[in-house]
Amino acid sequence: MRVVAAFVWAVAGAAWALEEGGVGSLYDQHFPPLHPNCTQSLTDLLLRQESQLRESAGILKEILSEIKGSLARTAPSTEASCSGTFRKFGGTCLYLAKDVKKTWDAARTFCQDLGGDLAVFRDANALAEAIGYAKALGIPRNNNVWVGGTDRAAEGKWKWVSGEDMPRGTPFWGIYNDIRQPNTGRGENCALLFGNDGFLIHDGQCGWNSLPLCQTKPT
């Protein structure tokens, strides 16, 4: 509104100044003096135009908002996902083959054939998610689940198949019948989730037949 008023005053003021300066006659030849009614008409015109521009700006904003919403709905998702039978848990994909029983080595080959390896857990939350997964699948407590840990290369030095050291103690390894795991030395060199101990980690004989817990990265 102030802009419109200033413009009107500027036009009227300029016409008046030209007349006062002696070049008014030249100005009048080209721009006859505005009749007071004309000034009012110009003001009305500018006010109407301002109102229309505001209305147009509002409509354009609505259109822009619609376009943004449409783009957001049609844009492809960039969130990583897990392929095939694998399920996503945080930043990893797990697949517990509940109907497959194999030795630790055969279970590892089974997982590698699916593009992954036996599962490893770098923190307690990751292990807790895997235990929750096993329980949700209804794995019987007398079943065990192979994970990717072994001390076969050097007795007592438990390593993940990724080459990292396995964590020791709670809450990773179980304490069963007051015996802290791992407890069987050279007799048991492969790591499993022991059903009868709430699927906490135990050492087991690599030749036992247990369920493979496979892991891949989301893609």
Structure tokens at 8: 């009107």
Of 158, 137, 164, 161, the residue nearest 201 (C-alpha): 158
- Are 177 and 197 a contacting pair, CB within 8 Å? no
- Are 80 and 219 a contacting pair, CB within 8 Å? yes
Q: Considering the complex, what minimum distance in angstroms separates the CB of residue 195 from Ca ion?
A: 20
Helix axes 2-20, 36-74, angle to 10 degrees: 140
Q: Which is nearer to Ca ion, 189 or 216 (CB)?
A: 189
Residues that bind Ca ion (CB under 5 A): 151, 189
Q: Which is nearer to Ca ion, 3 or 153 (CB)?
A: 153
Q: Considering the complex, what minimum distance in angstroms separates the CB of residue 94 from Ca ion?
A: 25
Q: Considering the complex, what minimum distance in angstroms separates the CB of residue 72 from Ca ion?
A: 54
Q: Which is nearer to Ca ion, 117 or 151 (CB)?
A: 151
Q: Considering the complex, what minimum distance in angstroms separates the CB of residue 158 from Ca ion?
A: 8
Of 180, 184, 216, 186, the residue nearest 200 (C-alpha): 180
Of 142, 127, 155, 122, the residue nearest 194 (C-alpha): 142
Q: Which is nearer to Ca ion, 75 or 153 (CB)?
A: 153
